[in-house]
Structure 1
């Protein structure tokens, strides 16, 4: 069209095109972050895989409670194994961690292990034998305060026969802070059940009926059957 200017008007000289350049992510840093996330996720999955059977067994025992109520007193929450300073009867140090890996039917005795103590030790042996094929999942443990009298040589010899009783000494204060009797009772009145992680989980009544206490042991071992294996 005559008299018209069809060309695009030029931009003013001082209005140049402005470009903003954003920094690009560092590929090496991104790869490191991804490896870190994958590593954490893998570790979490491993922990969950290891803990799941234990959690399931505790859920079965404490919540589902197959075959009725426990005869003994369930300890809720369980009490963790403290850093006990242990030694054997010859005075050699024994790591507290060595108690882990097995169910422990535990007695705490003193006064040189008199007649009542010997009856408890006999019951302890019978309870383990009554478990039949499951008995290898349970160890017998006798804890003595450091200041308790020494065991008689003939008793010490008897405890080493067959499947031996593990006999260890520990500071009295540490024992009393970990395992506790029922109200008005004494430590030596009870059997204590320790799980393979070193946690105190059950206290039997004083002078327990072996058949009833065995049912508790049966239930615990049955609940843990999916992950617990004989021996440490």
Structure 2
């Protein structure tokens, strides 16, 4: 009888030990978590590139996860690789890829290469005043907004940032965990 009681009580005992005694030592996310209260989403008054050229706000994409990148019109090799990685990160989500929108903010008034728009069909390219972004997006000393990939949750909260040259496989794992844990978006 004691053996049966010990077998039945052992999962409870092990779960108690795992939760209260053995604490995880590492962090589980790859990106840098941001406090959304410090970075409320401003009105961007961004101009959507394309046929309509209408004024667009990020609120238009609320309800979906947003991968946000800031570029200049002369998108060099690193910029193109980053846009490619962003596209592939969305595609690797399989059936959940419709929960993610790609938004690219352009900070100057120079024309953007048409081929870049075609290669990244489905991404939303918005032209924006860089002063608005500087007041909103956080950067560390020695970096710029163009050095980061930002993640915005379906409620419109800026919540995570990655380095542009971050490992896409690790970012993918973060996104998979977020989409699995999130019932919105």
Tell me the TM-score range normalised by the shorter chain. 0.7 to 0.9
SS in 2 for 1:191: strand
Report if aligned partners of 1:107, 1:188 keep a CA contact under 8 Å in 2: yes
- For 2:8, the equivalent position in structure 1 comes to none
Distance in 1 of aligned mates of 2:172 and 2:83: 15
The number of residues matched between the two structures is 158
Aligned-pair distance for 1:209?
0.3
Match of 2:41 in 1: 81
1:109 aligns with 2:54: no
Q: Select 1:179's aligned residue among 133, 137, 142.
A: 137
Aligned to 2:111: 150
Q: 1:169 aligns with which of 111, 127, 139?
A: 127
Could you give the per-residue CA deviations for residues 12-32 of structure 1, whole angstroms, max 9, x where no partner exists?
xxxxxxxxxxxxxxxxxxxxx
For 1:1-232, what aligned pairs fall within 5 Å after superposition?
Answer: 68-78=27-37, 79-90=39-50, 91-145=53-107, 147-160=108-121, 164-224=122-182, 227-229=183-185
Name which one, 1 or 2, has greater alpha-carbon Rg.
Answer: 1
Q: Give the Å deviation of 1:112.
A: 2.2
TM-score normalised by structure 2 residue count: 0.78
Specify whether residues 104 and 96 from structure 1 end up closer, same or farther in structure 2 by C-alpha distance, changes over 3 A only.
closer
Asked whether the equivalents of residues 103 and 138 of structure 1 are also in contact (C-alpha less than 8 Å), the reply is yes
Deviation at 1:68, TM superposition (A): 4.2
Asked whether the equivalents of residues 30 and 170 of structure 2 are also in contact (C-alpha less than 8 Å), the reply is yes
Ranges in structure 1 where 5+ consecutive residues have no aligned partner: 1-64
Partner of 1:54: none
> In the alignment, is the contact (CA less than 8 A) between 2:36 and 2:158 conserved in 1?
no
TM-score by length of 1: 0.63
CA deviation digits over 1:2-56, x for unaligned, max 9? xxxxxxxxxxxxxxxxxxxxxxxxxxxxxxxxxxxxxxxxxxxxxxxxxxxxxxx
Q: Give the CA deviation at 1:182.
A: 2.9
Q: How much is the aligned-residue C-alpha RMSD, in angstroms?
A: 2.0
Distance 1:132 1:211 in 2: 15
Q: Following superposition, which runs of at least 4 residues in structure 1 exceed 4 angstroms of deviation?
A: none
Contact 1:85 1:96 in 2 (8 A): no
